[in-house]
Structure 1
Amino acid sequence: MRTFGHANDVTAKKVKEGIEMRVLVWSGKLMMTHVSFKKGSVGDLHSHPHEQISYIVEGEFLYTVGEKKYHMEAGGAIYVPSNVKHQVEALTDGVLLDVFTPIREDYLPQ
């Protein structure tokens, strides 16, 4: 459990080339992560049993959720249902806040 956090105080984990994630806070059934992208980075197409909401802090992204594509910019948010395949591509450098329920056990610091 971490109930208080700041992105500058959390060590980034390299997800893949051009994508870094910081797990900011989590407790109970809720978790928030801060994900930084370099322009052109593409997350893997994947699904998970967790519900997810992404908020675009800065930058421009192309989200694929199921069969639909969404062009998103800073200030936008999107809901991803559990077990639905999704992917994100950074059209510019950018930052996302991702919220998950229940918490992503696989993201917890070791």
Structure 2
Amino acid sequence: MNKQSEHFLFGNDTPIEDLGNGLKRQMLGFNHELMAVKVFFDKGAEGYTHKHRHSQVTYVESGEFHFSIDGEMKILKAGDSCLIPPHVEHGAVCPTGGVLIDTFSPAREDFVGE
């Protein structure tokens, strides 16, 4: 087991939070300006349409996602990514099961209880 430090997080030691409805979240690192999060989707799980004040870049690590951003829908697969500007409605459905890497600027305070 690797010891956590101020600068390094190890996947096997970093908790995975069950969000319910087929979604799980693992924090990959954050400070006040930036946050990276790994999001696990079960087959058919949905990230419901929402918006927030943060800029977001999402990278598809695995699976297929039907993304809607500001009313535009695209199918994204492993290796694809998208940019979501602040205050723009977005959501995704994962018909296959898969994993996203979400980055936010500034960090999502609601994810860490600040």
TM-score of the aligned structures, taking structure 2 as reference length:
0.89
Unaligned runs of 5+ in 1: none
Q: Residues 104, 3 of structure 1: CA spacing in aligned structure 2 closer, same or farther, 3 A cutoff? A: farther
2:57 is paired with a residue of what secondary structure?
Answer: strand
**Aligned-residue CA RMSD in angstroms?**
1.5
The answer to which of 24-33 and 10-19 deviates more is: 10-19
SS at match of 2:79: coil
* AA of the residue aligned to 1:78: C
Q: State the aligned residue count.
A: 109
Greater C-alpha Rg = 2
Percent of counterpart pairs with the same letter? 32
Q: Helix, strand or coil: the match of 1:63?
A: strand
TM-superposed CA distance for 1:14, in Å, is: 1.9
Matches within 5 A, 1:5-84: 5-84=9-88
* Other structure's SS at 1:42 match: strand
Alpha-carbon deviation of 1:15?
Answer: 2.1
Give the gaps of 5 or more residues in structure 2. 1-5
Conserved? CA contact 1:62–1:71, under 8 Å: yes
Q: Give, as a single letter, the amino acid of the residue that structure 1 aligns with 2:93.
A: E
Specify which of 90, 96, 106 is matched with residue 102 of structure 1. Answer: 106
How far is the alpha carbon of 1:11 from its aligned partner? 1.2
